[in-house]
Chains A and B, each alone.
Chain A
Amino acid sequence: MVSFELSEEQTLLRDTCRDFALTVMRKQDRQADESGEIPADIVKQGHELGLTTGYLPEAYGGAGSRLSALDSVIIFEELAYGNLSMALNILAPSLLNIPLMLYGTDDQKKKYFTMNKPDQFQGFTAALTEPSVRFDPEALKTTALDDGDDFVLNGEKAFVAIADSALAALVFAKKGSGEGLAGIDGFIVPSGGFAVKEREKNQGLRALKQFTLSLDGARVQRPDVLKLSGGFANLLARSRTASIALTTGVCRAAYEYALAYAKERNAFGEPIASRQWVAFTLAEMATEIDAIRLMAWKSAWMLDKDMDAYKEASMGKRYAADIAMFITRNATQILGGHGFIREHPVEMWYRDARSFAVSEFMAIL
C-alpha cells in the first residue's frame, strides 16, 4: 500500500538530526570550510547520536536497533542539510560497519564492532576510488594476490576520508582475475598497513580530511578478508542511495537560503522573490528537491525489501547530481553578487554539490 508518510519514530529521528544540523553543524560550517578542520566536539556530538553504532548487535556492544535504509536516507538528508563534510566524517564508521553487518563473519564482527565506542568517535573508513581520470569501480587497479596465508595488496587509493586517524580501512581490490563488480572483495587493513600520503585539496568538501593512500605490498590475513560474494554491487547501491539523500540535504540548504534571501532582498521597490524568474526558479528547485527525495526513499525502500536497487540507485544518483548543480548554481545566482562572496554559505554548497557526480562510496546505508 503506497504511502509517503514517515512513521512517528522516523519523524522524531528526522527532527533530532535537523536540530543537530541547525544548532551545531551550521554554527561552525564556514569556519570548518575555511580552516579545513572539523571541530572534534562536533564529530563527538554527531557520533553520540548513535547513527553509526546504534544498529550494531547488542552482543558486540551496539544498541541492536534495526538497520533500515529508509531511516538512513531520512537521517542523511538532515546531516547533509547541516554540512556535507561534517556528515561524511560523522558517518565514516559505517563505511566498514555496514559491509561487515551484511557480509562479515562472526569473528570479523566481534573484532571490529567492539572497536566502536558509543561515546567516543573511533574512525573507520573505506578506500575505493583510485587516482585516475578514467576511474572505474568495475576495473580496479588495486590488486590482492593470494599468497598462502595472506593476501598481498598493491595499488593507490584516493579521496579516502579520515585516513590519518582511522583505526582501519576497508580497501576494495580485485582478487585474482575476477571480472567486473563480481570480482571485487573487501580487505580490512589496519592503520599502519597503508601509507597515508598527501591530503587531498578539493574544490569543496574542504573541511573533510581526505588522503591518497598507497598500498605497497600490504599483507592482509585471511580472517580480515571481507568476502563479498558478488555483493559489491549491493554496496554500491547502498552508497548511491546514500548519495541521493545527501544531495537532497545540500540542495535543501541552498534552496532555503535562496528563498529567504529572495524575500528579504529588495530591488526596484519590491522583494526580488516577486519577480517571476526568481519565483519560478525557486518553484523548480522545490519540485526537484521533492523528486530526488522520493527517489532516495524509493531506492531505500527497495533495499529494505531486499530488492535489487542497483539500477534505481545508480540512475537516481546521476539524476540527483545534475539537480544538485541546477539548484546550487541558481541559489548562487539568486543571491547575485552576494552569492559569490564567502560571507554567504551558498558558494560553499555550490562547491560541495559538485562532488556528487564524481564521488563514489563516500557514505553507505
Chain B
Amino acid sequence: MIDFELTPIMKMAREFTHTYARDVMRPIARKYDEEEHTEPTEFIQKTHEMFRSMGFSFSTANSSGDGEDKSEHKEKHDRPKMEMNLLGAIAIEEIAWGCPGLTLRIPGPGLGGAAIMAAGTPEQKKRFMKVLNGPKPSYGAMALTEPGFGSDASAVSTTAVQDGDYYILNGTKIFVTGGDMADLYVVWATLGKDLGRSGIKAFVVEKGTPGLKMARLEHKLGIRASDTAEVVLEDCRVHKDNLLGGEKKEEKGFKGAMQTFDATRPMVAAMAIGIARSAYDYVYEDFVVKNGLEINYGRPLHTRGYIETVLEDMEAKIHAARLLTWKAAWMLDHSLPNLKEASMAKAKAGTVVDEVTQKAIELYGPEGYSRRHLLEKWMRDAKVYDVFEGTGQIQRLVVARAILDYTRKELK
C-alpha cells in the first residue's frame, strides 16, 4: 500500500541530525573549506561519539552496526527489521545540509565498508565491520580509480600476484575519499589482464601494511573539508583472507562489488539533495522569511514574479529528486533490485544540485558570489555529486541499458 508516512524513528533521526548539522557543522563549515587539509579533529571525535552512542553509522547505512548480514534477517521475516537505507537517506540529507565536506569526514564504514558489505563473506563482514565500528573513530576507504581510468572500472591495472597465502599488490590509486585517515582500504586489483572482469578482485588492505603509502592529497574545487588522497601500493602483501568474497571463482567478484553502488548511490543522491536544500533554504530565508516575498503556488504566471517562480522550481526539483531517492532506498530495504532506480536518483539529484546551487547565487546577486556567504561554497561542493560514484553520464548509461534491455556492447 502506497504510503509516505515516515516512521517515528525516521522523524526523530531527521530532527536530530538536522539540529546537529545546524548547530555543530554549519558554524565550522567555512573554516574547513578555507583551511583545506586541516583535520577537523574535534568534530570527528564528537561526531563519532555521538553516532556511536546512537548505534548508527551514517556513512554506510546498509551495514548494520555489528557487521551482521541483513539478508539473513530478510529470509526470516517479511520485512527488514529497520529500513536502514531509507533511514540513512533521510538522515544524511540533513547532515549534508550542514556541510557536505564535513559529511564525508564523518568516521564510519564509508565506501570501503559498503564494498565489504556488498562483496564480503560473512566472516569478512564481521571482522572488518568490528574495526570500522570500533570505539575509536575509524574509516573505510575505497581505492578504485587509477590515473589511467575513472568511469571504466574494468580497466583496473593495479596487479595482484598470488604468493602462497598472500597476494602482492602493486599500483597507484587516486581520488581515494578519506584516503589520509582510513583504517582500511578496499583496493581493486587484477589477477591478470587476460582474465578480464572476472580477474578483478577487491582486497582489504589495513592501515600500516608494509608497502601501502599515502602519496599526496588533492587540491579540490569543493568538499575541501574531506581529503582525497593518492595511495600507492608497492609490493604490498595482503593475506588471502582479505580477498573480498574469498578465493573461489564463483564468489562475488567485480559484479558483486559493483553492487556496492546500488546501496551507495541513493545515499550520495540524498547528500546532493541536502546541499540543494541548503542553498534553497538560504535564499528562502532572505527573500521569503526576512523580506516577505510570497510564493503563490498555483497562481497564474502573470500574477507572479521571477524570483517566486524560480524558488518554486527549485523546490519542485528537490522534491522530485527526493522521491526518486526514497524509492531507490526503499527498494533496497525490501531486497528489490534497484540498479536502475539508484542510478535514476543519483543522476537526477546530481543535476538538481548543480542547477539549484548555481541559481541560488544568481538570485543573491553579487552578494551570492561573495565568500561571506556559503552559497558559493555549496555550488563548488555540489559539482562532485554529479561526478563521483559514477558521473551523471554513467548513471544515464546504466538507466538506458536497463530500459532498452541492452548489453554493454549494444550501448557503449
Mark A residues whose CB is within 8 Å of B.
1-7, 10, 70, 133-138, 236, 240, 259, 262-263, 273-274, 276, 279-280, 282-284, 286-288, 290-292, 294-295, 297-298, 301-302, 310-311, 313-319
Contact = CB atoms under 8 A, between A and B. Distances in A.
Given A2-B3, A279-B400, A280-B400, A314 B297 contact: yes
A315 B319 contact: yes
A137 B344 CA distance: 36
Contact of A2 (B6, B302, B404): B6
Contacts of A290: 324, 327, 341, 344
29 contacts: A1-B7, A2-B3, A2-B4, A2-B83, A2-B86, A5-B1, A6-B1, A10-B2, A134-B302, A136-B302, A273-B400, A274-B412, A276-B397, A276-B411, A279-B401, A283-B347, A286-B344, A287-B324, A287-B347, A290-B327, A291-B320, A291-B321, A291-B348, A292-B320, A295-B320, A315-B316, A318-B312, A319-B316, A319-B319
Interface string B129-152: 000000000000000000000000
Given A301-B2, A316-B316, A310 B298 contact: yes
Contacts of A282: 400, 403-404
A276 to B, nearest CB: 8
A19 B34 CA distance: 60
A269 B320 CA distance: 38
A279 B300 contact: no
A302 B2 CA distance: 11
Interface in B268-308: 297-300, 302-303
Interface in B327-379: 327, 330-331, 341, 344, 347-348
- For the complex of A and B, the 10 pairs showing the least CB-CB separation, nearest first, are A314-B298, A279-B400, A294-B323, A283-B399, A319-B316, A291-B320, A314-B297, A283-B400, A280-B396, A287-B344
B385 interface: no
A184 to B, nearest CB: 14
A315 B297 contact: yes
B16 interface: no
B399 A287 contact: yes
Contacts of B324: 287, 290-291, 294
| B contacts with A: majority SS | helix
A70 B1 CA distance: 10
A135 B300 contact: yes
> Which of A287, A302, A316 is most buried by chain B, counting CB atoms within 10 A of its CB?
A287
Contact of B330 (A3, A284, A301): A3
Contact of A1 (B5, B321, B393, B395): B5
B18 interface: no
Contacts of A286: 344, 399, 403
Given A2-B4, A236-B298, A291-B323, A280 B393 contact: yes
A273 B404 contact: yes
